[in-house]
Amino acid sequence: MKTGRTLTELAIELERQSETKKDFIASTEVLEMTDKAEITLEDNAPLSVTEHAHTQIAARLDIPAKYYPSFVTLVEEKYSWLLSSDA
Protein backbone atom coordinates (compact mmCIF):
# COMPACT_ATOMS: atom_id res chain seq x y z
CA MET A 1 0.00 0.00 0.00
CA LYS A 2 1.28 3.44 -0.90
CA THR A 3 1.84 5.78 2.01
CA GLY A 4 1.58 9.50 1.66
CA ARG A 5 0.93 12.53 3.77
CA THR A 6 -1.36 12.55 6.71
CA LEU A 7 -4.48 14.68 6.56
CA THR A 8 -2.81 17.24 8.82
CA GLU A 9 0.32 17.39 6.62
CA LEU A 10 -1.86 17.81 3.54
CA ALA A 11 -3.80 20.65 5.18
CA ILE A 12 -0.56 22.40 6.14
CA GLU A 13 0.80 22.08 2.59
CA LEU A 14 -2.43 23.39 1.06
CA GLU A 15 -2.38 26.35 3.45
CA ARG A 16 1.25 27.10 2.52
CA GLN A 17 0.46 27.00 -1.19
CA SER A 18 -2.60 29.16 -0.70
CA GLU A 19 -0.56 31.82 1.08
CA THR A 20 2.27 31.90 -1.47
CA LYS A 21 0.40 31.90 -4.77
CA LYS A 22 -0.69 35.12 -6.38
CA ASP A 23 -2.67 35.76 -9.52
CA PHE A 24 -2.24 39.02 -11.39
CA ILE A 25 -4.47 40.64 -13.96
CA ALA A 26 -2.70 43.48 -15.72
CA SER A 27 -2.75 45.43 -18.91
CA THR A 28 0.04 44.48 -21.28
CA GLU A 29 1.02 48.16 -21.28
CA VAL A 30 2.50 47.78 -17.77
CA LEU A 31 4.28 44.44 -18.31
CA GLU A 32 7.92 43.99 -19.26
CA MET A 33 9.96 40.85 -19.88
CA THR A 34 13.45 40.83 -18.38
CA ASP A 35 16.54 39.26 -19.94
CA LYS A 36 16.09 36.36 -17.48
CA ALA A 37 12.62 35.58 -18.91
CA GLU A 38 10.86 37.04 -15.89
CA ILE A 39 7.98 39.49 -16.00
CA THR A 40 7.94 42.79 -14.17
CA LEU A 41 4.65 44.48 -13.40
CA GLU A 42 5.28 48.23 -13.34
CA ASP A 43 7.91 48.85 -10.63
CA ASN A 44 7.46 45.56 -8.74
CA ALA A 45 10.02 42.78 -8.33
CA PRO A 46 10.43 40.34 -11.24
CA LEU A 47 8.08 37.35 -11.31
CA SER A 48 9.00 33.97 -12.74
CA VAL A 49 6.80 32.72 -15.55
CA THR A 50 5.11 29.40 -14.80
CA GLU A 51 4.02 26.83 -17.38
CA HIS A 52 0.44 27.98 -16.81
CA ALA A 53 1.44 31.59 -17.50
CA HIS A 54 3.19 30.51 -20.71
CA THR A 55 -0.01 28.74 -21.77
CA GLN A 56 -1.99 31.92 -21.15
CA ILE A 57 0.54 34.05 -23.05
CA ALA A 58 0.42 31.67 -26.03
CA ALA A 59 -3.37 31.77 -26.05
CA ARG A 60 -3.44 35.57 -25.83
CA LEU A 61 -0.98 35.85 -28.74
CA ASP A 62 -2.83 33.18 -30.77
CA ILE A 63 0.28 31.01 -30.96
CA PRO A 64 -0.56 27.29 -31.18
CA ALA A 65 0.72 25.36 -28.16
CA LYS A 66 3.00 23.12 -30.23
CA TYR A 67 4.81 26.16 -31.73
CA TYR A 68 5.06 28.24 -28.56
CA PRO A 69 8.28 26.65 -27.16
CA SER A 70 10.05 27.37 -30.47
CA PHE A 71 8.74 30.93 -30.35
CA VAL A 72 10.08 31.43 -26.82
CA THR A 73 13.50 30.05 -27.82
CA LEU A 74 13.62 32.35 -30.84
CA VAL A 75 12.70 35.40 -28.77
CA GLU A 76 15.30 34.54 -26.11
CA GLU A 77 18.01 34.16 -28.77
CA LYS A 78 17.11 37.44 -30.47
CA TYR A 79 16.87 39.26 -27.15
CA SER A 80 20.26 37.94 -26.09
CA TRP A 81 21.72 38.98 -29.44
CA LEU A 82 20.27 42.50 -29.12
CA LEU A 83 21.70 42.90 -25.63
CA SER A 84 25.17 41.79 -26.74
CA SER A 85 25.32 44.01 -29.85
CA ASP A 86 27.06 47.38 -29.72
CA ALA A 87 24.37 49.09 -31.79
Q: What is the pLDDT along the chain (87 residues), one digit of tens a residue?
A: 677 889 999 999 999 988 888 777 888 788 887 777 788 887 778 888 888 888 888 898 898 988 888 888 887 777 666 666 555
Task: Give CA–CA dist 41/43, Å, rounded.
Answer: 6
3-state secondary structure (DSSP) of residue 60: helix
Ramachandran area for residue 65 (φ above 0: left; ψ -120 to 50: alpha; else beta): alpha
Domain coordinates of the chain in residue numbers? 24-84
Cα 14 off chain centre by: 21
Give the Cβ contact number of residue 40 at 10 Å: 14
